[in-house]
Structures are given as structure tokens and as C-alpha cells.
Structure 1
Amino acid sequence: MGNATVRAFVVTGPGRAGVRDVPAPVAGAGEVVVDVERAGVCGTDADFFAGDMTYLHTGQAAYPLRIGHEWAGVVSAVGSGVDSGWAGRRVTGDTMLGCGRCARCLGGRQHLCADRYEIGIRNGWPGALATQLPVPVRALHVLPPSVDAVLGALVEPGANAVRAVRAAALSPGDRLLVLGPGTIGLLCAQVAAAAGVEVHLLGREQPTLDFARSLGFRSVWTSASLPALPFDAVIDASGASVLPARAVELVEPGRRVVFIGISGEPSPIDSRELVFKDVTAVGVLSGSGGLEGAIERYASGAVDPRPLVAATVGLDEVADVLAGRRRPEWGAAPKIHVDPRR
């Protein structure tokens, strides 16, 4: 047992990565081991591969890295103190793993715990681009039968979108502008539309705009074509350094801007604009608190994120995906999934 290994995608430095045999995870106290059926590749993973991710420069992450934090799978082993009924259950889980003891964790803000692990991201917790993944049982969420592995691996990004739309505090009939029609932006648009909100999207590249329209969104704009409408909320899901300030400029006075995109460089806003417009600005970090909401929306069919998945590849193709080498036949859908069993 001690010599068992699993296949995992390992990033060893900027632009350097490959598939390796690594020691198989063992379920510690309060933990399970999950056989990963599907994992998503995210912009954060690409930033780690490129060497740009902030955590690499703050000491919260270091090479070699085992990335991947959007996943679904089946519990194959349980550790001490874990109900044996978890074995065989289909699950996904929270990325953020707080210590469970500090004031933030005890106050419901475990995703902001100073000592937290983040699966595949922070403080060395191994990620889901592997055939097996260790997870604390407290982070697990059960997937109902109608939420398969594809949907299950979209729960984490969907949970981010649920939290962002929730933070926008919109009512049916209100008008939302989403900046950046990538995975999170499109999921925000889908979640908001399912709640009866009038959704507008702002983007740059024609294939991306056309893809957003293919999902049924008619109000898709560029900066040049954006109509002068009052927006009851603006969600910045772009990662562009100039757009947070633009969000404040575009939102109706007295309403909300939500920041969920992260720029690679400082993205300043003028606090005077917030004051003079009486605007509420909200930052959203992670899907913690939104996972059940995403699962419920997928299970009911209120939100169908399947079209966002362009392709599913094996571990051996992940490096190409992270380097931005996409096959033309994949089209403009933003999300790539990985089946580690391939």
C-alpha cells in the first residue's frame, strides 16, 4: 500500500510541467480520497503555469505544484472519524479549506482563514488534475443523480457566479452588465438570467461575443457599441486592469458593482466616484457559500453550463491547454475539462 502511486499533472516551473507518478493519497483523520472523474482547467491554473500567479510571489505557493480545483468524482476511501456512508458517493467540494478554529472560520468566513489551504492552489494541498484527490469531509458536497461529472466539475466556477450575482442584489426585471464573457462572466449571465434579470455582456473579441450570443444572450456589446442604458449592477469578471473603474462609471447611482475578476496588475478605482454615486462595491473570492446554490440550479435545469465546455482532454494534453494551444475544432467555448483516467 505504501508504494501505491497515482498519475498527476505537476508544474515544476514557469512553462514546465508534465504527468508524473506520485504517491497515492491516504485519507487522514476527517478526510476522504476521491477518484477524480472530471476536472476543469481555469485561468488561475494558467497563471501558475506561466509563473504569473500572485501566490508564487507572496510565498503562499511554490513549485512543484499540483494544480486543479474544479472537480467531481467518487469517494473511494474514508479516514478515521469519517462516516463510512461517504464511500461510493458522487461528490464535488470547496476549494477553500480553513483551519476550523480561528475567528474567521468560526464566524463563517473559513474561505478567508489566514492559514487556509486551497486545493491545487495554496500552501501545497494537491490538486485535482490527478486520478485521486484527498479532501476533508467537511468540504464535500453530494451531487444528485441529475448532476453528472461534467456538471459536477462546473459547480466550483458556478458557485463563484452564484455569489457574484447574489452580491449584485438584483430583482427580476433589473438590468445587469457583465464585463468579460469568459467562463465566470457567462456563468454570472446564466445565473442572473435564470432569476429574471435582463443581462447585458461586454467583451472584445468577435468569436467570444458570437459564442455568448449562441447561448441566447442578445445584448452582447463591445466598448464601441455599448448603449447608454442605466445598469442596476455591474459585475467585473474580466481580469482587465481598466475595467473595475469602468464598472463604477457605468453603474447606476445607489446600486452595486461586484469585482470577481482579478487583473495581473493593479486595477485602481477612484473612491470619490463610489462616494459621489453612493455605490456599494463588493469583492468576491471563491465559490465558498455558493456551491449548494450552483448544484441546485444545475440539478433543476435552471442553469445549463454544458455548452461552456469546449473539449475534454487527458492529463497528457494539459500543458498544451495551459500554454494556450487550442485545437481549432474546439471553437470559442471557454472551458476545457480533463478526464484524468484517460
Structure 2
Amino acid sequence: MRALVLTGPHRAEVRDVEPPVAGPGQVVVDVERAGVCGTDVELFTGEMSYLHTGAASYPLRPGHEWAGVVSSAGAGVDPGWLGRRVTGDTMIGCGHCDRCRAGRHHVCAERHELGIRDGLPGALAERVAVPAVTLHALPSTMDATLGGLVEPGGNALRAVEAAGVAPGERLLILGTGTIGLLAAMFARARRAEVHLLGRDEAQLDLARRLGFSTAWTASSLPALPWDGVVDASNAPALPARALELVEPGRRIVYIGLSGTPSTVDTREIALKDVTAVGILGASAGLPGAIAAYADGSVDPRPLVAATVGLDEVAAALAGERPPGAGPKLLVDPRR
């Protein structure tokens, strides 16, 4: 089968590789859609921290946002999965440690991260093998495009829930990329008053076309009390700015990662009695994202700039984006 392989910093190619075989407890999925995200770009450029800590190494087969149809099942797997459209959890814990047993498998010290950490090849390929316990069935009302957007949606939903903003309260989201806009959609569906902060007016165009009229630049941001702040940016200065902006006694959520360390004055966290929450992975948010997509309360499809084939992914990772207004690139590996 064909799969994208990262062979080193700034080197990617489509190769013919051996197709996966479903081992005990696993299924093989025929991939219909896979997403390309900032983590994939960092793996391509060599900036991803896991490459420097030894958690990931080249050659590497990326792809952790995906949807497809189960085509085979290994020993011990319910055959009812066969033929079903599914997506799956990126975070795959050992299943035995205290963290896994407490429901925190996404921070298991021995976890695999599909297509990110060493262990399991990712879904930027025609087929992918995953543990059946990580699967989430997709309703018949959801097509492959929506399925391919579940993983980023789960991350965004977790960020919104962590912000602790009630209906009618004011949430400020820093960043207008895929996660920022998805967070805005989930917060709007929960009847929060949603505001977005972007770099410039051009970056805010899509947000406004999606119905978020309260989208601002740093110079136009109004001096309002912010009941919660989600930092979904990759700007190293914005974590500290989030702390400045949030109301005392409320919550900041950090889901964006900058390429360089960010400095936050913990004295201000204490003196403002602020709760700071970090978000790693979509695990607990996947069911809620599926439900919101299925009932139509959140429609992420306008975020998709284009759907391309595997042969076009290397250029996209290098910054050659196809025309399209949305921030998200999806891949149909069978093209």
C-alpha cells in the first residue's frame, strides 16, 4: 500500500510499504480521510519536541486525525466492527498503569501516540492498524469529512469545557486556526458569548464569515471582563497575555504550543486566584465532538481548505498550501 514517510527534517516521500495485518485486539481500517495538523508540520521540520527527547524518531509515518472503514479484525475483536465507519483515539496507553486505570491513559508514561510517537504507524496511508479499544463508531449521518475532523474537534471541546464558562458568559479565544475556530464553534453551541483574537484583519476574515462578528486584533480588542480565556495560538507571548486578560478567580486554558518556551509569572496566577489548565489530546472529548457533528450543532466543514492526495502532502507540509479559505487540509489517501 502507499503511505507517507518522513525520512528526516524537511524530507517526506510516498512509499510502497507492507500493508498492516490486524494482530490480536487490533483492527485494520481503510482510511477515507486523514487530517494534516501543526504537529505533522513540526514532525516534518524536525521541531517537534519528541524528536529531541527520543520519543519519536525517523523514519516516521505520521497521521493522527482520521476516519475510515474497518476492513479486518484480529483475534479477540468483536466482528461487529467490520464494515463500520470509525475514528479512533490518538492516545494509546498501556492499559495497566495507575494512570490508565484512573482514566488518564492520554498521559500514560508508556503511551503510543498514533503517527506521532514511536510504536504505531499513522493514518496518512491507505490503511492503518489500531487497537479496537480505541475505536469510536461514527453515526450514519456523518461522512468521512466530518469523521476526519473529530480528533481536532475533541481537542477543542476539551478546551471549552476546561474554561468553565457558563451560557451567557464571555469567552476569549486566542488564535484563529483550526483549534481556535473549532473551540469558538463549540462554545457558541453552548451559548457562550464568544470573542476571537487574531494577528491581523485578514486572518479574521474566515471567523467573521463563520458568524463570529466579535473577532479582534490586539489593537482593537475591547477592554471587557473575560470570564475565560483559551490560548489556541502558537505565539510565545500569548500565554502571559492570557493571564493578563482573564478575570480573577476564573480559568485560562492552554492548548496551543509555541516553538519556543513561553514565560508566565506564576505570582500573577496566585494573586489573581486563576486556574490554569493544560490540554493534551482529544481522548475525553471524542464522544462529545461526534455527537455535536452528528446533531448539527457544530459544523466544521467550512474549515476545510481542500482535500488532496498523498502525493500532495509533502508540499503542504513544506508550506505550499492549496487555495482555500479554511485552515484545515484533509487527505484522501486513495487519490
The bucket for the TM-score relative to the shorter chain is over 0.9
Which digits, 9 at most, give the CA deviation of each residue in 1:272-295, with x for residues without a partner?
Answer: 111111101000000011100000
RMSD: 0.7
What 5-or-longer segments of structure 2 have no aligned partner? none
Unpaired runs of at least 5, structure 1: 1-5
**Structure 2 match to 1:124:** 119
Q: Percent identity?
A: 67
Q: Corresponding residue for 1:334?
A: 327
Q: Which amino acid aligns with 1:25?
A: P
Runs of 4+, deviation exceeding 4 Å = none
Q: 2-side partners of 1:239 and 1:278: how far apart? A: 25
Counterparts of 1:223 and 1:185, CA distance in 2: 16
Q: Which moved more, 1:122-131 or 1:34-43?
A: 122-131
1:181 pairs with 2:176: yes
Among 43, 47, 55, the alignment partner of 1:48 is 43
- Map 1:143-222 → 2, pairs under 5 A: 143-222=138-217
| Letter matched to residue 16 of structure 2 | D
Number of equivalent positions: 335
Cα separation, 1, equivalents of 2:297 and 2:165: 17
Aligned equivalent of 1:290: 285
TM-score normalised over the length of structure 1: 0.97
CA distance in structure 2 between the partners assigned to 1:165 and 1:108 by the alignment: 20
In the TM superposition, residue 207 of structure 1 has moved relative to its aligned partner by 2.8
Cα distance in 1 between the residues matched to 2:313 and 2:158: 28
CA distance in 2, matches of 1:183, 1:63: 27
The CA deviation string for residues 81-134 of structure 1, in whole angstroms up to 9 with x for no partner, is: 001111101100000000000000001000000000000001231011000000
Structure 2 match to 1:248 = 243
Task: State the secondary structure of the residue aligned to 2:186.
Answer: helix
Distance in 1 (CA, whole Å) between partners of 2:249 and 2:263 is 20
Q: 1 CA distance for matches of 2:118 and 2:263?
A: 28
Check whether the contact 2:195–2:215 (CA below 8 A) recurs between aligned residues. Answer: yes
Tell me the TM-score normalized by structure 2: 0.99
1:3 alignment counterpart: none
Superposed, 1:1-342 pairs within 5 Å as 6-327=1-322, 329-330=323-324, 332-342=325-335
Report if aligned partners of 2:67, 2:86 keep a CA contact under 8 Å in 1: yes
2: distance between equivalents of 1:142 and 1:110? 20
